[in-house]
Structure formats: C-alpha cells, structure tokens
C-alpha cells in the first residue's frame, strides 16, 4: 500500500524519514528546491530562472524545467530526480506547503492512504495573496493574449508535415490549441469578475470564481512563456510567496 504523509515543516519530514527508514520501510521526502546550498539542504537546482518563476507563483516542474539546460543533471542528481524517487516510494513525505501550492490530485495519485498532520484547513482552502497592481497587470496580459492579433499564434500551430512534406491539419495539435484558448478565455472571465469586485468593494467580502474548469496540459507552461516575454515577472509588485499567478492549478 502506498501512502502520503503530510507534515508542517521539512524538519518534521526528516524526523519521520529517519524513523521509517530505521524500520526498513521504503520512505522518501518530496524535497525543497534549492539553487544554493544551506546548512540543511544541498543544492539540487542549477537554474536561477526557476527562482523567478516560483517567486511569481508558477509551478517550476511544469514550466521552467521543460527547457532547462541543466535538465539531465537535475534528473540524475537533482530536484527532478528526487521528485521521481519520492513519487515511486512506498511512503512519501511532503510538507503542507507542497500540498497547498500543488494541490491534492498530483500527489495522491495511485496512493491509497493520505494522512495530514495538524491543521488541514489551509490546505483545503489555500490563501492567495494578490496586489491590486498585479491584478490589473495579469488581467491586461490575458486580454492581450485574446484580443491582440500578434499574440494569436501563441496558442500553437495546428498543422504538421506529412510524409511528402506537405502541411496538413493535426487533430491533436488543433485540440490542444482549442483547449489552451478556452482556458485563457475562462481565466480572463475570472480576472474580469475579480477586478470588478475589487473596484466595487468597500470592505472585505467573500468572492467566488464565476468559472471552474480543469486546466489543460501545458497551460502553466503557456502562461509562463507568455508572461516571461512580456516581463511580468519583472514588473510584479506582489512580494515572493504571494504571487500574481499563485499556482493556477491549486487555486482555480
């Protein structure tokens, strides 16, 4: 039986790891990603761009890691390799923060037992911090993607070359393009509603998203790519940890 045990801190994880491994149980930790070594952790990431992506809320493994020049090194002796080891272990140990930012779906996949130690409320209802400036910034970016003709090709090509070298429609690419477009439209509706609610609010009040969808594969990468070109990571006013993109997969 594969299990996922969730604790508040990495110090907790280390204590539990030693206890399980001393009993001969196959247990591993979902590691923190470090571009610099610390007293507690060795360096396991060699791409500073990953820090910038994470600072504005993007999931690094599904964005920066795809095109990282150090990817092979990372798979062999770094963060990506450590993620694979943890994912394949009998008992996986993760922090509250990992579950909060990545969501339950990915981490509990194929695991029949889940245990959350201490208060689970923040994991079940995570908080997203967003400055008004960043809300306008991201909303404007999404509107550009949908309405400015020069951005329309960003949703990907829908053709491929056949055996004779001719351009033909590829149904799989066409479907991917359509789903990225639909997700961008839905996100724009969400941001539009949130922007209006913030402008009209005179005090703190509840807000519920007008749309709920399953994000298509590759959507975080698409958002990271487009926002990087527009330099949103350099113009964001929200401090690291409370971001303008804040883990779309977990919060939407």
- List the single range of 35-44, 84-93, 210-219 with lowest mean pLDDT: 210-219
Among the candidates 124, 158, 176, a domain finishes at 124
What residue ranges in the chain does DSSP mark as E strands? 3-7, 27-29, 91-95, 113-116, 159-161, 167-169
User: DSSP string of 87-135?
Assistant: HHSSEEEEEHHHHHHH-HHHHHTT-SEEEE-S--HHHHS------HHHH
- Co-location of 164 and 108 in the same domain: no
- Co-location of 73 and 139 in the same domain: no
- Closest by CA to 172, choosing from 212, 105, 218, is 218
pTM metric for this prediction: 0.79
pLDDT confidence tier of residue 241, bands split at 50, 70 and 90: very low
Residue 18 has pLDDT above 80, yes or no: yes
- Co-location of 68 and 39 in the same domain: yes
- Co-location of 70 and 169 in the same domain: no
- Co-location of 103 and 161 in the same domain: no
Q: What is the pLDDT of residues 40-91, one digit of tens each?
A: 899 999 999 999 888 878 889 989 998 899 999 999 999 999 999 999 999 9
Q: What is the pLDDT of residues 157-179, one digit of tens each?
A: 667 777 777 778 778 888 888 88
- Co-location of 42 and 105 in the same domain: yes
- Co-location of 70 and 155 in the same domain: no
Are 89 and 26 a contacting pair, CB within 8 Å?
A: yes
- Co-location of 118 and 17 in the same domain: yes
Q: How many domains does the chain have?
A: 2
The C-alpha atoms of residue 110 and residue 89 are separated, in whole angstroms, by: 11
- Co-location of 76 and 147 in the same domain: no
Q: Which domain holds residue 223?
A: 132-251
């Amino acid at each position: 039986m594969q299990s996922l045990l969730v604790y508040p801190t990495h110090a907790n994880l280390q204590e539990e790891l030693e206890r399980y491994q001393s009993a001969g149980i196959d247990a591993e930790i979902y590691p923190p990603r470090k571009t610099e070594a610390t007293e507690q952790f060795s360096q396991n990431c060699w791409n500073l761009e990953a820090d910038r992506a994470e600072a504005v809320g993007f999931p690094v493994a599904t964005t920066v890691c795809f095109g990282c020049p150090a990817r092979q090194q990372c798979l062999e002796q770094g963060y990506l390799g450590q993620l694979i080891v943890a994912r394949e272990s009998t008992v996986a140990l993760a922090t509250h923060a990992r579950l909060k930012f990545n969501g339950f779906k990915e981490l509990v996949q194929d695991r029949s037992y889940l245990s959350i130690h201490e208060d689970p409320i923040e994991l079940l209802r995570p908080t997203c911090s967003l400055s008004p400036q960043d809300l306008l910034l991201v909303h404007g970016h999404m509107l550009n993607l949908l309405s400015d003709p020069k951005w329309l090709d960003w949703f990907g090509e829908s053709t491929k070359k056949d055996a004779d070298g001719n351009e033909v429609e590829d149904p799989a690419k066409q479907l991917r393009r359509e789903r990225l477009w639909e997700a961008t439209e839905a996100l724009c509706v969400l941001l539009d509603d949130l922007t209006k609610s913030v402008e009209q609010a005179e005090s703190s009040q509840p807000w519920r998203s007008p749309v709920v969808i399953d994000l298509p594969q590759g959507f975080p990468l698409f958002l990271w790519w487009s926002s990087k070109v527009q330099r949103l990571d350099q113009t964001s006013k929200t401090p690291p940890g409370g971001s303008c993109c804040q883990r779309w997969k977990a919060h939407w």
